[in-house]
Structure 1
């Protein structure tokens, strides 16, 4: 098969990573046949994924990185992963937001992508413990000025984590005094047994406060988060109203999630919410 020019490098690497995780390891020659690309292209992709720390190169192929439940990648390390999936999820999740509502966004690269889709939603009050999310709104206001209808952003205090979230007693106290219509929650891992989890104990407690203060909880998580378990669980699946994920989620996982949650949205598929589909009262 000739070199496949239709797959972008990002898409190709996402497929490679999925294959490594699903099978527990792959060989270079298997990937060249599957993807229809050259040996050199596959090796470049493996080098790039190894630099991101998401797989380990071995002789003739690659295997998954076995991470401790306490391992917490930094924001920059996570921001280069599953970019297309995160963008699709962010676009679908933004359609759930009703103008004029009070929403909260936790830390994470998917909520960061979501923030950029919320800039044109009028009259929002945004509570966040993410420095990166707050910066999205503040940067937009610096460029365009404090226009009418611009979001009001409440950034909690706290101690900064590797993922640029603010956590700890200061953040917890601020969040406990607030109430918001909708919480968009990024997660390190999600599973039936462990629920929602994170490697960071302080972040787990802050996320518990976020969940407790929200009328509705929407988890935004790409398919690679399914089956991952961090050190500390902070919510059960019963506390989640909606999961917004991407089309990479396998059929068996979709069936399992649908049994646990009131609503599963797979971004880009026909049951994705329309532009006028909100979660507010009405």
Structure 2
């Protein structure tokens, strides 16, 4: 499985117990400097990937990115602790426990100006996107609308609708394939041909009868099962993070509950055609 990113909630917990200092004993290197820049490194005590230091094959990827397996160090001490013989996992756990015991009760959070700066940059970005879409597109009559004001619920609803439309088009293609054999036979009759020999061919040897049956009845439906399941997973993951900073968004909160219920039901019952 691919290396998983550290969850924002885990990062917040690590910073909260860091005292804004490298966890190495006696080190006074700050994690966030006076310019609100992160100048340290989040380190895996037991490596996230098989070739890393202290890799533990019995861990799963969630355990590898968990709070208990992470430590924030300055670059110098991150490199130093890569010496596995000198820094076995037990020693790193002791360093983490000692540091968090000393600093865990101190209040520390990232300056809100960092969040404000990011928000300002994104507001400008979306304004530029809207301008490009509405006024700079080379052929306005063919432009695809990008609505920056759509809510998360509206965006995901549009995604599901697009997937549904795509499935509808593939169903139309399937029906056309089913009628292909009859259309060819009708055309031959209209052109004055004797279709006796054509009709005598068994359906399983006729390339126009039930054309691409497995693709249309197994392959494509199974891919749409994958697509809708992935979309629902993405929606739940996104709304999980979104509501951490938009807790008062009642409409999205309601959709989050619905999406979780739908995903749970798919986890119990969704399956492939065979």
TM-score normalised by structure 1 residue count: 0.24
Question: Which has the larger helix fraction?
Answer: 2
Question: Which has the larger strand fraction?
Answer: 1
